[in-house]
Amino acid sequence: MTRKQRRLAMIGTALAVLSLALGLVLYAMRDTIVFFHAPSDIQAKGVQPGTRFRLGGLVKEGSIKRGEGQQVTFEVMDAGASIPVRYQGVLPDLFREGQGVVAEGVLETSGRFKADTVLARHDETYMPREVADALKAQGHWQGEKAPGKP
Amino acid sequence: MLIEAGHFALALALGLSVIQCAVPLWGSRTNDSVLMSVAGPAALAVFACVAFSFAALTIAYATSDFSVLNVVENSHSSKPFIYKLTGVWGNHEGSMLLWILILTLFGAVVAVAHESAPERLRANTLAVQAAVTAAFLLFILATSNPFTRVSPAPFEGQDLNPILQDPGLAIHPPLLYIGYVGFSITFAFAMGALIDGRIDAVWARAVRPWTLSAWVFLTLGIAMGSYWAYYELGWGGWWFWDPVENASLMPWLAGTALLHSTVVMEKRDALKVWTILLAILTFSLSLLGTFLVRSGVLTSVHAFAVDPARGVFILAILVIFIGGSLTLFALRASLLKQGGLFAPISREGALVLNNLLLATACATVFIGTLYPLALEALTGAKISVGAPFFNLTFIPIVVPLLLLVPFGQTMAWKRGDPLAVAQRLAAAFGLALMVAIAALAVTLGGPVAAPLGIGLGVFVILGALTDVLARSWSRGQPFAVVLRRARGLPRSAWGTALAHAGLGVTVIGIAATAWSVETIATIRVGERVAAGPYTAQLEAVVPRTGPNYRENVARFTIWRGERELGAVETMKRLYVTRGMPTTEAGILTVGLSQAYISFAEARPDGAVDIRFFYKPLVLLIWGGAVVMALGGALSLTDRRFRVGAPARARSAPAALPAE
């Protein structure tokens, strides 16, 4: 092989691998990405039942109800709306009424949200950033309750 | 007083590191060896100052000095002593101080150990290292001072985030930082060579031990972090494709590529420009990781405190160093002469392919990690990119790479013979295929990916061993000769084989996760629940009090059929100071597999909700990483890296086929 052919072979392989990767990334971007919505976005943006997304807001006081086995229902609310959520499984340690929560799942035709994941938090003062931003945007932000600052 | 001294030492270190940067650079420009020789002692002095300051903070933690704000916010007098010490880096300020401590430690080691490196290269390298140190010292002094006092001092601290009170956390950050920061030396060497405009095999040989040791620690650090997440978060997962994890995976992928390209450069004087670029990119990704984790852009257990000023500052450091180094690279890269020709099918060709695939894999992780941030900044839309994205993009790139590992390792330099390589690997491939088919037959109806993955892992392991075997064994030789030859092989050959075998072990562990079983159940004392071949019986639920927490303990016995395997406890803890609940998983190791129970919730009627996992061969995931790191460490002890060691005259030339 001449020098030129060698170089061509190398560049050809590199292009093949990179275009394969690009194709995979573009394909994956279409199918695997999940959007975030606040409860009031669902009406406003016209989110269709059957779409998969992340729902974030506060767990409404007094809304947590436990059913058979690990069945649990609660409501996620923000300033404008409240969405009932159904979940089957183990809730994270820091899941509490009045606290921020992010649930991932599908909106049912009844308007109820069927969650398959409820996200864990690592810290008792931590508010999911999406939730904090949504609350700020609606003027309901009272600042982080930071016990860290004396 | 000690606290103020610690603060002062940091400021002094900043001044000294500016000297360590400016004077040797000027010296190398004017060819003044007196000025260049300032670099070494200055590096030692900077290290001494930072070490003193770190010790001062550690003493403040050990004695629970609540007049220091950082201690108040992250410690408590009733916290176990060991966590008082590890709490030093369980917060933003302290962990940045640890970062700088390791950075200056590396500088000091270069100053001491590199007497044999060319004078100019050493001076330039230490100067670049000092520039990084100065930038981060400025960062810590300006935005994250760990020595801030509180007046009046409170009586009690606010305790450390409970999930950080764990032995895993004690070692995960130092290991990871040694890895991250270790690549700064490679970066400094690359910059030093570019400033000088000269780069050759001597450079590659000088850099390789640093790359290798950084890689070893990064491997261990990532594995430790993964195991910590597995047992501490109570969800039974070992990798979440969380942006923070990706931030450590990206430098690892780039660093692995760098490790392989420096081999080509050292042996064949080729791939110079690419190697320099990789050295820059690897450290840039480490800086990016620090930015992502420390700036508060991401919310996670690692983002201790969100302060926009810090984010902007680290971003500025990022832009200056990455932009500056790439500019220098663009200006100087044309000076680097290309050497060594090779055929596409050769060891070099295989290593180029390895680099290509690793770099591409790294790029997909990069896109998946940064795309949501970019999209939010540009359009305000919030999205999350999770495991499905990475499974779809990362795995199809990594699987061919794994398949090629044994081929590359067996291929000869310059010009390889694909037929001979295929012949040599036929046995390994056949055996791996048999293992895969056997696994498929035993678990018929189960997931298909698992047996295939296991076959792939076995192929990588056997391929790695084939190489060592082929280099020491030849037909008709007595066993003693084979043994002597195997012993005579360079340690780096054994290291390579071991590291590749470790990779195969990890692949098997990952593949076997497809067989794991999760059961969620509500259970009362005396009842049993099954997951896979294991059964768990709840024996008792009792309350208990720890030093700084209260907990509810669920005791289980684990059974396989009618045989009792052992007992485990899983706890639901409440850390009193922060009012924060945590779950402590109960894990029983059976051979390489584990039974994993985590306490989900206690019900008012006395029943408890649990998650019970059967995790077959799960220990291989981290065990493989440890083997990889051991392989790297073994390579590090190779003769040719021992600085100043005279080249050994081979009395009996060992048969090294095709080298």
B425 shares a domain with B504: yes
Per the prediction, chain B carries an average pLDDT of: 88
Q: Do A17 and B161 touch (CB under 8 A)?
A: no
Q: Do A54 and B384 touch (CB under 8 A)?
A: yes
Does the ipTM exceed 0.85? no
B651 lies in a domain?
A: no
Mean per-residue pLDDT for B127-148? Answer: 94
Q: Residue B588's closest CA among B606, B556, B607, B566?
A: B566
Chain A nearest CA to B465, separation (Å): 28
Pick the more confident residue, B651 or B375: B375
Residues spanned by the domain of B450: 417-514+620-640
Q: Do B341 and A6 touch (CB under 8 A)?
A: yes
Q: Which of A75-89, B14-28, B339-353 has the highest mean pLDDT?
A: B14-28
Beta strand A100-107 with B580-584 is unpaired
Q: Which of residues B410, B440, B464 is at a domain's end? A: B410
Q: Which of A96-100, A134-138, B426-430, B478-482 has the highest mean pLDDT?
A: B426-430
Q: Do A70 and B520 touch (CB under 8 A)?
A: yes
Q: Which of B81-85, B263-267, B398-402, B480-484 has the highest mean pLDDT?
A: B398-402
Distance between CA atoms of residues B494 and B645, nearest Å: 20
Given a contact cutoff of 8 angstroms between Cβ atoms, the answer to whether B147 and B4 are in contact is: yes
pLDDT given at position B483 = 86
Given a cut of 80, is residue B308 above it in pLDDT? no
Outline where DSSP puts E strands in A6-48: 33-37
pLDDT given at position A35 = 86
Q: Do A122 and B163 touch (CB under 8 A)?
A: yes
Smallest CA–CA distance from B578 into chain A, residue: A124
> What is the DSSP-derived secondary structure letter of residue A90?
P
Residues of B (223-242) whose Cβ lies below 8 Å from A: 233-235
pLDDT given at position B658 = 39
Q: Do B393 and A18 touch (CB under 8 A)?
A: no
Contact of A4 with chain B, judged by CB distance below 8 Å, is answered with no
B253 shares a domain with B152: no
Chain A nearest CA to B279, separation (Å): 20
pLDDT given at position B582 = 85
Residue whose tokens read 């809304």: A63
Q: Which of residues B165, B197, B231 is at a domain's end? A: B165
Q: Do A90 and B600 touch (CB under 8 A)?
A: yes
pLDDT given at position B59 = 95
Distance between CA atoms of residues B26 and B120, nearest Å: 11
Contact of B360 with chain A, judged by CB distance below 8 Å, is answered with yes
Given a cut of 50, is residue A113 above it in pLDDT? yes
Mean per-residue pLDDT for B559-572? Answer: 93
Given a contact cutoff of 8 angstroms between Cβ atoms, the answer to whether B257 and B278 are in contact is: yes
Contact of B520 with chain A, judged by CB distance below 8 Å, is answered with yes
Smallest CA–CA distance from A122 into chain B, residue: B301
B117 shares a domain with B97: yes
Distance between CA atoms of residues B308 and B292, nearest Å: 12
Contact of B582 with chain A, judged by CB distance below 8 Å, is answered with yes
Q: Class of the A35-137 domain? A: mainly beta
Residues of A (28-67) whose Cβ lies below 8 Å from B: 28-29, 31-36, 54
B551 lies in a domain?
A: yes
Mean per-residue pLDDT for B565-575? Answer: 93
Which residues does chain A have within 8 Å of residue B233's beta carbon, measured at their own beta carbons?
120
Nearest to B388 among A32, A54, A70 (CB): A32
Q: Do A150 and B150 touch (CB under 8 A)?
A: yes
- By the 10 Å C-beta count (0-12 exposed, 13-18 middle, 19+ buried), B276 is classed as buried
| pLDDT tens sequence across A35-77 | 888 888 888 888 888 888 888 888 888 888 888 778 899 998 8
Distance between CA atoms of residues B552 and B546, nearest Å: 11
B579 shares a domain with B445: no
Torsion of CA A96, A98, A103, A108, to 10 degrees: 120
Q: Do B386 and A32 touch (CB under 8 A)?
A: yes
B291 shares a domain with B205: yes
CA distances (Å), B127 to each of B16, B29, B187, in order? Answer: 11, 12, 12
Number of domains composing chain B: 4
Q: Which residue stretches of B269-417 are H helix?
A: 272-294, 308-332, 347-379, 387-410
Given a contact cutoff of 8 angstroms between Cβ atoms, the answer to whether B311 and B335 are in contact is: no
Contact of A26 with chain B, judged by CB distance below 8 Å, is answered with no
B161 shares a domain with B306: no
CA distances (Å), A139 to each of A60, A79, A133, A135, A136, in order? Answer: 18, 9, 10, 6, 5
Q: Which of residues B123, B143, B165 is at a domain's end? A: B165
Q: What is the percent of chain B with per-residue pLDDT over 90, rounded to a whole number? A: 55
pLDDT given at position B298 = 63
Q: Find the helix packing angle between B243-268 and B272-294, rounded to 10°.
A: 160
pLDDT classification of A91: cutoffs 50, 70, 90 = confident
Pick the more confident residue, B394 or B386: B394
B313 shares a domain with B208: yes
Q: What residues does B536 pair with on adjacent strands?
A: B529, B558
B78 lies in a domain?
A: yes
B471 lies in a domain?
A: yes
Residue whose tokens read 């700036």: B295
Given a cut of 60, is residue A148 above it in pLDDT? no
Reading the block at residue B430, the tokens are: 């056949």
The residues, any chain, with a CB within 8 Å of residue A108's CB and separated by 6 or more, are: A49, A114
pLDDT given at position B338 = 66
Nearest to A14 among B343, B356, B600 (CB): B356
Given a cut of 80, is residue B114 above it in pLDDT? no
pLDDT given at position A52 = 87
Reading the block at residue B104, the tokens are: 């200056």
Given a cut of 60, is residue B429 above it in pLDDT? yes
B195 shares a domain with B123: no
pLDDT given at position B498 = 95
pLDDT classification of A143: cutoffs 50, 70, 90 = very low
Given a cut of 60, is residue B91 above it in pLDDT? yes
Given a cut of 60, is residue B299 above it in pLDDT? no
B507 shares a domain with B441: yes
Nearest to B386 among A6, A9, A34 (CB): A34
Residues of A (84-143) whose Cβ lies below 8 Å from B: 89-91, 93-94, 104, 120, 122-124, 126, 128-130, 133
B646 lies in a domain?
A: no
Distance between CA atoms of residues A82 and A80, nearest Å: 7
Mean per-residue pLDDT for B635-654? Answer: 56
Distance between CA atoms of residues A100 and B251, nearest Å: 33
pLDDT given at position B116 = 61
Write down the number of H helices and E strands in chain B: 19, 10
Q: Is B523 helix (H, G, I), strand (E, B) or coil?
A: strand
B627 shares a domain with B570: no
Distance between CA atoms of residues B142 and B310, nearest Å: 9
- List the domain boundaries for chain A: 1-32, 35-137
Smallest CA–CA distance from B571 into chain A, residue: A93
B206 shares a domain with B308: yes
Given a cut of 60, is residue A147 above it in pLDDT? no
Mean per-residue pLDDT for B16-31? Answer: 94
Contact of B399 with chain A, judged by CB distance below 8 Å, is answered with no
Reading the block at residue B292, the tokens are: 């992502």
- By the 10 Å C-beta count (0-12 exposed, 13-18 middle, 19+ buried), A111 is classed as exposed
Mean per-residue pLDDT for B105-115? Answer: 85
pLDDT given at position B305 = 46
pLDDT classification of B333: cutoffs 50, 70, 90 = confident
B464 shares a domain with B580: no
- What pTM was estimated for this model as a whole? 0.90
Q: Residue B253's closest CA among B360, B156, B345, B376?
A: B360
Q: Residue B60's closest CA among B79, B75, B49, B46?
A: B75
B384 lies in a domain?
A: yes
Mean per-residue pLDDT for B53-67? Answer: 95
B607 lies in a domain?
A: yes
